[in-house]
Amino acid sequence: MSDSPNHRFEGTDRYVATDDLMIAVNAAITLERPLLVKGEPGTGKTVLAEEIAKSLDVPLIPWSIKSSTKAQHGLYEYDAVARLRDSQLGDERVHDIGNYIVRGKLWEAFTSDDGAVLLIDEIDKADIEFPNDLLLELDRMEFFVYETKETVRATRRPIVIITSNNEKELPDAFLRRCFFHFIRFPDEETLKRIVDVHFPRLQLRLVEEAMALFFELREVPGLKKRPSTSELLDWLKLLGAEKLDSLPKVGSLPKLHGALLKHEDDVELVARMRDRGRRGR
């Protein structure tokens, strides 16, 4: 389709995109195929879709998947109960079946005039067959509504971003149709850029100390949930709110550790380890 959005994504002032991520996103935009994004929790998979929508100035249509979500929910649902009720009450609306077709997120994305970014969030939460059920719709960007005998076709193919947390393996047929990007945990330099973008006014010393401690925590073996980018950002936000210049050195746990360590066992583990480290010195 020649009138497809021909913009390029270059990251935004709130989102640091690495080269490989930009290439994957732009390939998906140019070739109009879905982009599957995986990565550790908290590395900005969902935020990516928001930022793409913002930078291309198109609406974002998020579709959060749950274990009970069916592919059909994304297309449309026929509310037979409402129609039955209306027929009992003698409502005129009952004669047009179209009144009872509830549009799903895919329909919404297909009919958006300016194009759209469709975010299918956490696709691995759904049943194993869910991705397969969406193959044709995502491929052809059209589907058929049996009740009204109409075909819904995308006027402008939406940019489809799909995220997965690796809880289930996705079917091969589905994978073949996507571009794939794995968001790695950022290296120190990239992380510094991310922090700068979010907290340009934080004290340099505080940021450096906080990041050193953060990387140390990530190296602790046996953590149930390793802190990741979003946890670091939350933590810095809290530290910033306290107006500190540097990290206070009290106790065996870092200040406001609750933002970094979400598991009781992890807190215990880190406390024990740091205690031991101090005594050893």
Partner 1 sequence: MFGEFFETLRQVGVPVTLREYLTLLEAVEKEAAEYRVDSFYHLARATLVKDERWFDRFDLVFAHVFADALESGDFLEQLPAEWLQRLAERVLSPEEMAKIEGVGDWQQLMDLLKKRLEEQKERHQGGSKWIGTAGTSPFGAYGYNPEGIRIGQDGSRHRRAVKVWDRREFRDFDDSVELGTRNIRVALRRLRRFVREGAKDILNLPATIRKTANNGGYLDIEMEAERHNAIKVLLLLDVGGSMDDHIHDVERLFSACRSEFKHLEHYYFHNCLYERVWKDSRRRHAETVRTEDVLRTYPRDYKLVFVGDASMSPYEIVTPGGAVEHQNEEPGRVWLERATAKFQNFVWINPTPRDHWEWTHSIGMIQDIVEDRMVPLTLAGIERAVDLLQ
CA distance 281 to 278: 5
Window of 44-52, 172-180, 204-212, 222-230 that interacts with partner 1 by CB under 8 A:
172-180
The amino acid at 6: N
- Pick the closer one to partner 1 by CB: 44 or 254: 44
Does 175 interact with partner 1 (rule: CB under 8 A)? yes
Q: Of residues 54, 125, 168, 193, which one binds partner 1 by CB under 8 A?
A: 168
The answer to whether the beta carbons of residues 189 and 36 sit under 8 Å apart is no
Interacting residues with partner 1 between 177 and 216 (CB under 8 A): 177-182, 184
Options 15-23, 109-117, 195-203, 266-274: segment touching partner 1 (CB under 8 A): 15-23
HEC string of 148-171 equals CCEEEECCCCCEEEEEECCCCCCC
94: which DSSP letter? G
Stretch that binds partner 1, among 21-29, 137-145, 227-235, 248-256 (CB under 8 A): 21-29
CA atoms of 130 and 111, how far apart (whole Å)? 22
Task: Tell me whether residue 102 or residue 175 sits nearer to partner 1 (CB atom).
Answer: 175
Alpha carbons 243 and 202: distance in angstroms, whole number: 9
Q: Report in angstroms how near the CB of residue 72 gets to partner 1 at its nearest.
A: 22
Instruction: Work out whether 218 is an interface residue with partner 1 (CB under 8 A).
Output: no
Of 115, 119, 105, residue with least CA distance to 50: 119
**Where in 23-62 is the site for partner 1 (CB under 8 A)?**
23-24, 26-28, 30-31, 33, 35-36, 38
CA distances from 199 to 14, 116, 171, 242 (A): 10, 30, 40, 14
Of 66, 176, 279, 281, the one binding partner 1 by CB under 8 A: 176
CB 131 within 8 A of CB 170: yes
Under the criterion CB under 8 A, does residue 142 sit at the interface with partner 1?
Answer: no
Q: Decide if 235 contacts 260 (C-beta within 8 A).
A: yes
Please choose, out of 22-30, 105-113, 134-142, 218-226, the segment that lies near partner 1 by the rule CB under 8 A: 22-30
- The minimum distance between CB 245 and partner 1, in angstroms, equals 35
CB neighbourhood size of 28 (10 A): 23
In the complex, the residues that contact partner 1 under the rule CB under 8 A are 19-20, 23-24, 26-28, 30-31, 33, 35-36, 38, 128, 168-172, 175-182, 184
